[in-house]
Amino acid sequence: MLLSVNTFVSLDGVMQGPGAPDEDRSDGFYRGGWLVPHASPHTNEVVESWFREAGAFLFGRTSFGMLGGCWPKVTEPDNVIAAKLNAVPKYVVSSTLTDEEADWNPTTVLRGDVADEIRRLKERPGKELQVHGSWKLVATLHREGLVDVYRLLQFPVVVGTGKRLFPDGSTPATFATAEERSRVLPGGVVSLTLTPASLGAISAGAYTADEGRSATVLD
């Protein structure tokens, strides 16, 4: 299975608490709900297109708890997101969650080495293994080079504080943009599809003047 990270980010890269003031107040975060004024049928269409590609979901414990407390209550048959979340296999990474607590069926708790467990999942046939939210887990997946594609909706707002998709100290990386799948939506939200091109290093260069002309020199 291809592993995809699907998330909402602000202009300053914050992905914490986009949907409601009390969604995630960890570390004293108090600016939750920053996405909602910018949501539209256009952003909903993009998000639904993400979920249509899901064959299974992978969560950290916190996001599993937040989503599992909401989406099982959504039973309308034409809701694409609820239909996927409530029906396809779910995997949650946790060393403390019990099988009884993981009652959003079908759910499997992954308790072993995270990277090894997920490598085994990726070897299975099927549609995408999707990650939504799960900030700490995403950082691990990025560091281990396990993410095949990032899908982002970047909203025109600077939150100023909070958990960022790539916080300080993240492993350097370069990405390729799938231009046919990336666009600016009405209202200024940017839909991006990115595939990792290199991990662990980034290329660099310099602008110089050469015989009166501006020139670019790459390392």
pLDDT in tens, 144-177: 999 999 999 999 999 999 999 999 999 999 999 9
In this prediction, residue 106 carries a pLDDT of 96
Tokens standing for residue 169 = 């100290």
- What is the Rg, in whole angstroms, of the alpha carbon atoms belonging to the chain? 19
Confidence category of residue 86, pLDDT binned at 50, 70, 90: very high
Question: 117: exposed, middle or buried (C-beta count within 10 Å: 0-12, 13-18, 19+)?
Answer: middle
> Residues 156-185, buried b or exposed e (16+ Cβ, 10 A)?
ebebeebbbbbeeeeeebeeeeeeeeeeeb
- Region 3-31 average pLDDT: 96
Q: Where are the domains of the chain?
A: 3-218
Coil, strand or helix at 45: helix
Write the pLDDT tens digit of every residue in 113-130: 999 999 999 999 999 999
Does the predicted model carry a pTM greater than 0.85? yes
Q: How confident is the model at residue 211 (pLDDT cuts 50, 70, 90)?
A: confident
| Secondary-structure class of domain 3-218 per CATH | alpha beta
Checking if the pLDDT of 219 tops 80, the result is no
pLDDT at 9: 98
* Residue 209 clears pLDDT 80, i.e. is over it: yes
Q: Percent of the chain scored above 90 by pLDDT? A: 89
pLDDT tens readout for residues 66-82: 999 999 999 998 999 99
pLDDT above 90: residue 181: no
Rounded Cα distance between 70 and 62, Å, is 13
